[in-house]
């Protein structure tokens, strides 16, 4: 009875258009009422979920990304990418992929990445002979790498959701997950995602003859020369160094992720206000306002999701789902395929933070039984969540890109399959080749990472 109330009320609220955070909270409160449990317990679970020191890293990472966004760093990265590959067939598409990947490492947010790069690149690409759907799809799908970069606040959320994970893999005891391991684990997958996106963007540009004028003739640009490339690289490097600063702090072991995020904010402020002098008072207030709103939404999601986690544990929902999947198959590769497919389906309807908080306690224990550690599973989860961000009907990143390009979701989705395929290839590599995500953190830390 209680599971029915929890599930149906959540679905009804979503169908009615209630924001995900409120849908989760209201469905949990309804279930508490049916069970006869004191509502004060629900509020206690909500508050305790938000009252975690490591969550201080979230507003810092978000604020750092907003400072870089409003401080003009995106323009310098874009100038470098355009000078390097802008002269090739489909050059603006390739430059878009490179710039979106690099800026994703600074912002740590696919939506911020799409807003920054899309606002500049989509109008330019439309003007210079690229179709709108191509410009939108290249921008939105390349921006997904931001979720797996060291500045990603979603890694902090996952580390919290996975803190209760325990098990044994290859004779090693697993207990929780290190944020530092997660930061290093995402670098190799991000590189290969960029390669896959470059391949998809290049193939689509060649197949459709982009760029081209209205009369069908080519609009290829000229290579500006290696001196211009080097000059623009030098201008972009200071902004990209924020990734090095964060990884250096974590690798040195002298700071926590929260302190590293605070250092990143300090660096971003000095860079944009002192070195580049591109951060005006108005832009600073805009960055503070956006970071505050985003942090509030995320913390509310964390609080109500902790309430939901408590409710699921009380109703033994994770054990029920685990039993159902084990009844379906005991073959590890097939079990992982099922988990990925379920994650993709859920990602279509859930916001990324809510998706991570709700599904981690459901599937991580089962993944550990299949030999997949919390670091590897984290990369799987972030990729699956990313695919949901660009897939209708929810697809928040795709909505942003389509709004900038003034195109419908349906029009963009019809030609998005090469990019979906590229993401699926990355998901399969992370799922079935453990070293794809665990090799680098193992080398950095000097001990096996799973």
Is residue 194 classed as helix, strand or coil in its secondary structure?
Answer: helix
Sign of CA dihedral 287, 293, 298, 303: positive
**Alpha helix positions (H), 315-373:** 317-328, 332-347, 352-369
CA atoms of 384 and 340, how far apart (whole Å): 7
Phi-psi domain of 203 (left: phi exceeds 0; alpha: psi -120 through 50; beta: other): alpha
Q: Is the pLDDT of residue 254 over 70?
A: no
Mapped onto helix, strand or coil, the DSSP state of residue 407 is: coil
Strands 166-169, 172-175: pairing is antiparallel
Q: How confident is the model at residue 432 (pLDDT cuts 50, 70, 90)?
A: very high
Q: Prior bond to 410 cis, omega within 30?
A: no
Question: Contact 393/362 with Cβ under 8 angstroms?
Answer: no
* Nearest of 85, 115, 135 to residue 419 by alpha carbon: 135
| Helix residue ranges per DSSP H, 51-161 | 57-70, 73-85, 91-107, 110-127, 132-142, 153-161
Dihedral sign computed on CA atoms, order 391, 392, 398, 402: positive
Question: Among 175, 110, 113, 111, which Cα is nearest to 148's?
Answer: 110
pLDDT value of residue 238: 86
- For the cut 60, the answer to whether the pLDDT of residue 219 exceeds it is no
Residue 427 confidence (pLDDT): 92
Q: Give me the sign of the Cα torsion angle 12, 16, 21, 22.
A: negative
Question: What is the pTM assigned to this prediction?
Answer: 0.84
Question: Residue 86 — pLDDT band, cuts 50, 70, 90?
Answer: confident
Give the whole-angstrom CA distance, residue 395 versus residue 386: 9
For 345-389, the pLDDT digits (tens) are 887 777 788 889 888 988 998 899 888 999 999 999 999 988 888
**Dihedral sign from CA coordinates of 136, 141, 145, 146:** positive
């Amino acid at each position: 009875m209680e599971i029915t109330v929890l599930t149906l009320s959540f679905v009804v609220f979503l169908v009615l258009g209630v924001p995900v955070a409120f849908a989760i909270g209201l469905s949990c409160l309804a279930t508490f009422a049916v069970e006869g449990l004191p509502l004060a317990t629900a509020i206690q679970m909500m508050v305790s979920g938000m009252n975690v020191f490591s969550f201080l890293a979230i507003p810092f990472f978000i604020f750092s990304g907003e400072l870089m966004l409003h401080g003009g760093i995106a323009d310098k990265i874009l100038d470098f990418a355009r000078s390097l590959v802008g002269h090739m067939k489909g050059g603006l598409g390739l430059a878009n992929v490179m710039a979106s990947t690099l800026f994703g490492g600074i912002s740590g947010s696919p939506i911020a990445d799409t807003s920054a790069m899309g606002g500049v690149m989509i109008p330019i690409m439309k003007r210079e002979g690229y179709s709108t759907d191509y410009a939108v799809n290249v921008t939105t799908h390349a921006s997904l790498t931001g979720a797996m970069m060291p500045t990603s606040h979603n890694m902090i959320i996952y580390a919290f959701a996975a803190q209760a994970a325990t098990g044994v893999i290859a004779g090693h005891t697993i207990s929780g997950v290190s944020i530092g391991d997660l930061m290093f684990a995402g670098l190799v997958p991000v590189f290969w995602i960029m390669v896959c996106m470059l391949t998809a963007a290049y193939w689509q540009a060649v197949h459709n003859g982009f760029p081209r004028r209205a009369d069908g003739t080519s609009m290829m640009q000229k290579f500006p020369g290696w001196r211009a490339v080097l000059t623009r690289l030098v201008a972009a490097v200071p902004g990209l160094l924020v990734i090095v600063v964060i990884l250096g702090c974590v690798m040195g072991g002298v700071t926590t992720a929260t302190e590293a995020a605070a250092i990143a904010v300090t660096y971003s402020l000095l860079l944009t206000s002192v070195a580049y002098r591109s951060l005006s008072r108005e832009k600073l207030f805009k960055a503070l306002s956006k970071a505050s709103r985003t942090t509030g939404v995320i913390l509310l999601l964390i609080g109500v999701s902790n309430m939901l986690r408590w409710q699921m544990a009380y109703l033994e929902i994770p054990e029920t789902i685990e039993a159902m999947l084990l009844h379906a198959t005991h073959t590890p590769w097939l079990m992982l395929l099922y988990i990925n497919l379920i994650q993709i389906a859920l990602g279509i309807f859930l916001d990324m933070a809510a998706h991570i908080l709700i599904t981690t306690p459901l599937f991580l224990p089962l993944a550990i039984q299949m030999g997949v550690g919390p670091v590897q599973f984290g990369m799987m989860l972030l990729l699956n969540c990313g695919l949901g961000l660009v897939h209708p009907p929810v697809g928040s990143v795709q909505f942003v890109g389509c709004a900038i390009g003034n195109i419908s979701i349906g029009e963009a989705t019809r030609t998005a399959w090469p990019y979906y395929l590229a993401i699926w290839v990355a998901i399969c590599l992370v799922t079935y080749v453990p070293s794809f995500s665990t090799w680098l953190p193992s080398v950095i830390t000097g001990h096996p990472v799973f």
